[in-house]
Structure 1
Amino acid sequence: MSNIRITKQFSFETGHALYGYDGKCKNVHGHSYKLSVTVIGTPIADRNNVKFGMVIDFSDLKKIVKEEIVDVFDHATVFNQTTPHVELANELKERGHHVILVDYQPTSENMVTDFAGKIKKRLPEDIQLFSLRLQETETSFAEWFASDN
């Protein structure tokens, strides 16, 4: 049987700031992110399986991505914990804001890499993460491909 790729798309709102950056993105700002998750596998061939013909049930993939990414990052502000932004992050947390501290500069490139690791850990053994596309603006995105890593 053939390997098939399937893709599910997600949207979430997240703020961030790039510490030390020499442009406007050094300021706290937000994006309406669009995340496309593509997995690859062989469709289930067992006619007695309720998921016969599926690589993975879209609802199962949705559960993984929602729990690992969307529900965590939606309406949060992301800061690099290894910079002085941690002080701003702590102040916002004290005021009840949803803040995520990461050990990397929260660029689309680093976020998509982080997301790949989180999703890969949750996929069934026979399903591989093929690619991710994290769209930050209408014209800007970062992509992660398993074949490149």
Structure 2
Amino acid sequence: MGTIRITKQFSFETGHALYGYDGKCKNVHGHSYKLSVTVIGKPIDDTNHVKHGMVIDFGDLKKIVKSEIVDVFDHATVFNKNTPHVELAKELEDRGHNVLLVNYQPTSEMMVIDFAKKIKKHLPEHITLHSLKLQETETSFAEWYASDNTSL
């Protein structure tokens, strides 16, 4: 059987602010993110296997991405924990807001790198993460490709 790429799409709402940035995105704001996750592998050719013909069950891929990304980032506000935004984060948390403190500037570029690491840890051995596309707005997105990131 041939090698096949399959893609599952997800969406979530997340707020963030870019500390030290020289434009509008230094202010807390949010996006309706769209995440496309593409994996690559060979369809299961065992006719007795319950998932015969599948590279991976879309439901299994959904469980991974929902638990690692969507359920964590949806309706959260993300700040770089290595900046003074931690004070704002503390204030928001004290008021009952869902705040994530990450080790990076929460740009689409850095988020997609983080997402790739998290998803790869949970994929079955015979499945490879091929690419991620994180769309921040209708016209702006960041892409991660395994072929460009052999060290991850």
TM range (shorter): over 0.9
- State how 1:98-137 maps to structure 2 within 5 Å: 98-137=98-137
What SS does the corresponding residue of 2:110 show, helix, strand or coil?
helix
Deviation at 1:97, TM superposition (A): 0.4
Q: Equivalent residue for 2:83?
A: 83
Quick check: 1:69 aligned with 2:62?
no
Distance 1:6 1:59 in 2: 12
Deviation at 1:136, TM superposition (A): 0.1
Cα distance between partner residues in 2 of 1:22 and 1:30: 17
Q: Is 1:39 paired with 2:39? A: yes
Question: What's the CA shift for 1:80?
Answer: 0.3
Measured after TM superposition, the shift of residue 88 of structure 1 is 0.2
Q: Which runs of 5+ in 1 are unaligned?
A: none
Query: What residue ranges of structure 2 are gaps of 5+ in the alignment?
Result: none
Return the offset for 1:7: 0.0
The residue type equivalent to 1:68 in the other structure is E
For the residue of structure 1 that corresponds to 2:79, the secondary structure is strand
2:86 counterpart letter in structure 1: V
Query: 1-side partners of 2:41 and 2:91: how far apart?
Result: 45
Structure 1 stretches of 4+ with a deviation exceeding 6 A read: none
Query: Over residues 8-31 of structure 1, what are the superposed CA-to-partner deviations in whole Å (9 max), with x where a residue is unaligned?
Result: 000000000000000000000000
Residues matched between the structures, number = 149
Cα offsets for 1:13-57 (capped at 9, x unmatched): 000000000000000000000000000000000000010000000
Distance 1:85 1:139 in 2: 28
CA distance in 1, matches of 2:129, 2:103: 23
The whole-number CA distance in structure 1 between the counterparts of 2:108 and 2:60 is 25
TM-score, scaled relative to structure 1: 1.00
The 2-side partners of 1:89 and 1:2 are apart by 48
| Structure-2 separation of matches of 1:39 and 1:80 | 29
* Alignment-derived partner of residue 49 in structure 2: 49
Q: CA deviation at 1:115?
A: 0.2
CA RMSD of aligned residues (A): 0.3
User: Could you list the per-position Cα deviations for residues 82-105 of structure 1 after superposition, in whole angstroms to 9, with x for gaps in the alignment?
Assistant: 000000001111111000000100
Identity %: 83
